[in-house]
Amino acid sequence: MCFFRLIWFSLAINIEVVSDESVLLARAALCGVLHLLKNDNAGFEVSPGLHNRQLRGAQILLQNRSCPSVATFVVQRLALLFILALLMAVPTLWAQVPGNYRVNAKESQIEIHLFKGGFLSALGDNHIIALAHFSGTANLSRTNPWKAELSGDAASLKVIDPGGTPSERKEVQDIMLGPQQLDVTHFPSIELHSLLFDPTNQDTTWRLEANVTLHGATRKTKFSLDCRQTGDQLQIRGKKMFKLTDFNVRPFSTAFGAVKVKNDFEVTYYIILDRIP
């Protein structure tokens, strides 16, 4: 955390004129302040960073030495640390404001990338498929575990390959949505339901473990989410590799497998969440 480095730098530039005992006391003070900044609701923890031996040494110095200058130094540094913590730590720790959020489908984007394979792969094409219709919510509670839900309309998957003709894109789309592939008539929805959702020790990285359902098959999946906040909006970016066979989908092939779609496919997402008043 960069603001902790700044706090330590502010402390360090003022301790050159004091004794080694003062340095130890100052480090003990810093330890105590950072420990107070622990934010359980956001899943954020700061390790005290001092060994028990150092803490015991600081305690002995406080008990056995009478040194007004050292005491003054510690009090001054403690006050400075509290001010820096209020000015810098609070906005960072609470960058993701707790509350209820709704997916802004107009500004969000979910794409599936399929890759060509086979002996004659040069005759095939990579494909980009957009999920046109989807919705979702996220609850970032102060007291309860975070939750996220996302639901998409499988029939709204649309081939948007930059190359090829409209008729070629339609042919790929019809095969993809048809009974031999996704069979959207019988499996109309794509679902994500969170199992574990919380921040990591990095401000802008969240971890998400969720059940993902496609083609009637559900798989537990882990995501690493890059998150930013602007006002009452959260911006989430990332990508994740899957296998078609994990969802009981047989990769499409032609010419006896000489031209085919690879089993591995990638989902990229840019999700905008609007805070609900």
pLDDT tens digits, one per residue of 140-153: 988 899 999 999 99
- Whether 42 has a pLDDT exceeding 80, the answer reads no
Identify the weakest region by mean pLDDT among 35-49, 76-90, 257-271: 35-49
Structure tokens at 188: 């109309």
Domains of the chain: 2-93 (no CATH), 99-275 (2.40.128.110)
47 phi/psi in degrees, rounded to 5: -70, 140
Q: What average pLDDT does range 252-266 have in this prediction? A: 67
| pLDDT grade for 126, boundaries at 50, 70 and 90 | confident
- Find which of 38-52, 191-205, 219-233, 241-255 is predicted with most confidence, using mean pLDDT: 219-233
CA angle 241–186–108, rounded 5-degree value:
45
Contacts for 11-18: CB closer than 8 Å, 24+ residues apart: 11/77, 11/80, 11/81, 14/73, 14/77, 15/73, 18/69, 18/70, 18/73
pLDDT number for residue 56: 54
Kindly state the DSSP code that residue 156 receives in the 8-state scheme.
G
| pLDDT grade for 154, boundaries at 50, 70 and 90 | very high
- Whether 14 has a pLDDT exceeding 90, the answer reads no
How much is the pTM? 0.64
Q: What is the CA radius of gyration of the chain?
A: 27
Most distant CA atoms of the chain, gap in Å? 89
